[in-house]
Amino acid sequence: MILDVQKFITERRPDWEEFEAMLRHLEDDSRKYRFDVGEVRRFHYLYERIAADLTKLSAYAVEPQTRSYLESLVARGFGEMHGNGRRLPLVRSLINLVTAFPQAVRRHFAVFLMVLAIFGTGMVFGGLALALDETAKPVLMPFPHLLGDPSERVAEEEATAADADPMEGSKSTFSAFLMTHNTKVAIFTLALGMTFGIGTGILLFYNGVMIGAVMMDYVLAGESVFLAGWLLPHGSVEIPAILLAGQGGLLLGRTLLFARGRKSMGQRLLEIRGDLVVLTAGVAALLIWAGIVESFMSQYHEPILPYAVKISFGALQLTGLIAYLGLAGRGGENSVRET
Amino acid sequence: MKTSRYNNLVVQTPEGVQFTNQLASPVSRCIALAVDIAIIWTVMSLVGTLVALMQWVSYDFAMAFYTLLYFVFNIGYFILLEMLWRGQTIGKRMMRLRVQDMHGLKLQPAQLVLRNLLRFVDSLPVLYFLGGAFAVLSKRSQRLGDLAAGTVVVRLPELALPVLNELSKNHFNSFREHPRLEALLRQRVPPEEAELALQSLRRRDEIDPIARTRLFRELAAHLRERVKFPEEITASMSDEQYVRNCVDSIYRAAK
């Protein structure tokens, strides 16, 4: 069939222009334009006509410009008709996050148990390694302020605290640094899930080794109370947050590795995408809180702040976090997962 | 959905209609990224100047503000702009690129968040080496963030409707002085050949100069065989001009 392209374009052009104008309305999110039923029908009718025009023209290879134009119209129309994503409803997402976060954690609880196993193994390894070979300290916890004798550090910190506020003039900066640094580490831990979870596993194990070694060092030096008072207030939120980021990473790795029925990788990733974003947002919120606590509370020791207060605060906080993750949003697990 | 060897993403709708998106090359994506990074750097430098002034009030507060803003802006720049501008940042706009769902559907906010969070891995070990390597090797030019989020980056086609009369506009056609020969030309040139000549003229600026010269020489020679116009008007006429006159003579009558 020889198509009279000039005539074809002239005749069909009004429909194309009308459809393009409707697309512009839909695509302009700032107007929040919504079609009425008549306009929806007209949009669908024009989409089908233009799709038919494209099919007709596709058989006629010498008109690339018009074909590209029609392809772009069909592509945009297809996205508008079949996609349901609008602009991010920020306020609603933040409110939903309160329940969606613990729901996502519980939905993949088996993965979280795996995270605990890896991290726990690292802690045991780090603790035992330090107990058996104290010279391994620089390797196990390569931070200058942790390499000295714990008892000396405790004495020094308490003496400084007795004289003046050790964080005077730097609380906000330190807090901001902790928030951003820890959030970066958490995102990185999750993102390393793309290495089939291997990178996430290594990072979790390594963090476990460091924390296990630090704890063993202070326990052997008889400074368990200082350790609990120092770590619990912020660690009771910060460490679970990193573990939850690890949960996201291992979830991503597991999704890449295992087919789970006959689903394609794209389908599997689509299913967990919403949960990964919710986990990241929840972890970031926890780390912001942990940063504030670490800067404004954890760095203050006796005599400024009694250890009993710090330990009680940390223990209560941990209990509250466990209760929140275990109980919040129960019964609403089947609601919409994409935020 | 399939990819062709020309680096296109072909999406087939449930209605059986196919449309093609041209995938963005890693180089154009790299340039867009460089532009975006330059913008982030510039904005943060300006903010840094303001923060320096804030230090007079409180050094601690100013530094905390800068640290938080730097972090949020670094991550939020890509996520927010891609949400507001339907998959585009300033760099992508300049390079006429757009993030798009792999299946041609509307982008979900979760997809944009995830693809941008995974920049942390894509940028490893330095300068987006890992993400770049994946983009080069991947069939759909996807970096790791795109793979996880189910997105691709496409080149935006020119959306202009074809102009029908651009060839005869402001153009003097000496063949019009010979209406009998023009009629003969219309009779002897089949529609396929006329269309071929028309498309050659429309796309002439996209053709390499040497190939363009050769193409119009062959077309003109072919058209000269169909009808011979008087020597005095064709002697000083270029091959391209000859073809252009022929096309005008054929299509002018068809309107």
- pLDDT of A6 over the 80 cut: no
> Shortest CA distance to A311 belongs to which of A246, A221, A253, A232?
A232
pLDDT value at residue B151: 94
Determine whether the interchain pair B148/A338 forms a contact, defined as Cβ–Cβ distance below 8 Å: no
Q: What is the pLDDT along chain B (255 residues), one digit of tens a residue?
A: 554 445 888 888 877 888 888 899 888 999 999 999 999 999 999 999 988 888 888 888 889 999 999 999 999 999 999 988 889 999 999 999 999 999 888 888 889 999 999 998 899 888 889 899 988 888 888 999 999 999 999 988 666 665 655 555 556 788 888 889 888 888 888 877 887 888 888 788 888 888 899 999 999 999 999 888 888 888 888 898 899 888 888 876 554
For B153, the token pair is 């980056």
Residue of A nearest to B120 (CA): A188
Query: Is B22 within 8 Å of chain A by CB?
Result: no
φ/ψ (deg, to 5) at B155: -85, 140
> Shortest CA distance to B107 belongs to which of B86, B93, B76, B89?
B86
Q: Are A154 and A278 in contact (CB under 8 A)?
A: no
**How many angstroms separate the CA of residue A250 from the nearest CA in chain B?**
13
| pLDDT tier for residue A265 given thresholds of 50, 70 and 90 | confident
Query: Is B86 within 8 Å of chain A by CB?
Result: yes
**How many angstroms separate the CA of residue A130 from the nearest CA in chain B?**
31
Q: Maximum distance among all alpha carbons in chain B?
A: 90
φ/ψ (deg, to 5) at B3: -115, 140
Determine whether the interchain pair B106/A188 forms a contact, defined as Cβ–Cβ distance below 8 Å: no
Determine whether the interchain pair B110/A274 forms a contact, defined as Cβ–Cβ distance below 8 Å: yes
Buried b / exposed e along A300-316 (16+ C-beta atoms within 10 A): bbbeebebeebbebbee
Q: Which of B19, B101, B107 sits opposite A74 (nearest CB)?
A: B19
Spatial distance between the Cα atoms of A216 and A55, rounded to a whole number of angstroms:
72
Q: Which of B64, B101, B120 sits opposite A83 (nearest CB)?
A: B101
Residue of B nearest to A185 (CA): B120
- pLDDT of A301 over the 70 cut: yes
Between strands B2-3 and B8-12, the pairing is: antiparallel
Q: Model confidence over A178-205: pLDDT tens digits?
A: 899 999 999 999 999 999 999 999 999 9
**How many angstroms separate the CA of residue B111 from the nearest CA in chain A?**
7
B84: number of CA atoms within 13 Å, CB side?
10
Spatial distance between the Cα atoms of A244 and A186, rounded to a whole number of angstroms:
8
A304: number of CA atoms within 13 Å, CB side?
19
Q: Which of A69, A175, A184 sits opposite B161 (nearest CB)?
A: A69
Query: Is B17 within 8 Å of chain A by CB?
Result: yes
Determine whether the interchain pair A63/B161 forms a contact, defined as Cβ–Cβ distance below 8 Å: no
Spatial distance between the Cα atoms of A320 and A325, rounded to a whole number of angstroms:
9
pLDDT value at residue B34: 95
Determine whether the interchain pair B160/A69 forms a contact, defined as Cβ–Cβ distance below 8 Å: yes
Determine whether the interchain pair A62/B195 forms a contact, defined as Cβ–Cβ distance below 8 Å: yes
**How many angstroms separate the CA of residue A275 from the nearest CA in chain B?**
9
pLDDT value at residue A173: 87
Q: In what order do the strands lie in the sheet with B151-155?
A: B2-3, B8-12, B18-23, B151-155, B97-101
CB atoms within 10 A of CB B202: 18
Kindly provide the residue ranges of all beta strands, DSSP E only, lying in B166-252, ordered along the sequence: none
pLDDT value at residue A86: 53
CA distances for A206 relative to A116, A133, A141, A186, A202, angstroms: 13, 18, 10, 14, 6
Taking residues A272-287, what's their average pLDDT? 93
**Cβ burial, residue A276 (10 Å; 0-12/13-18/19+):** buried
Q: Is the Cα torsion angle A282, A203, A323, A212 positive or negative in sign?
A: negative
Contacts of B147 in chain A (CB under 8 A): 194, 269
| pLDDT tier for residue A145 given thresholds of 50, 70 and 90 | confident
Does residue A166 or residue A317 have the better pLDDT?
Answer: A317
pLDDT value at residue B170: 53
Please report, rounded to a whole number, the percentage of residues in chain A having pLDDT higher than 70: 90
**How many angstroms separate the CA of residue A224 from the nearest CA in chain B?**
32
Q: Strand pairing partners for B11? A: B19
| pLDDT tier for residue A49 given thresholds of 50, 70 and 90 | very high
Q: Model confidence over A68-121: pLDDT tens digits?
A: 888 888 888 888 887 655 555 667 777 888 999 999 999 999 999 999 999 999
For A260, the token pair is 């789970």
Q: Are B46 and B70 in contact (CB under 8 A)?
A: no
Does residue B76 or residue A10 have the better pLDDT?
Answer: B76
pLDDT value at residue B169: 57
Determine whether the interchain pair B113/A280 forms a contact, defined as Cβ–Cβ distance below 8 Å: yes
Q: Are B220 and B239 in contact (CB under 8 A)?
A: yes
CA angle A245, A251, A253 (to 5 degrees): 105
Residue linked to tokens 């029609």: A70
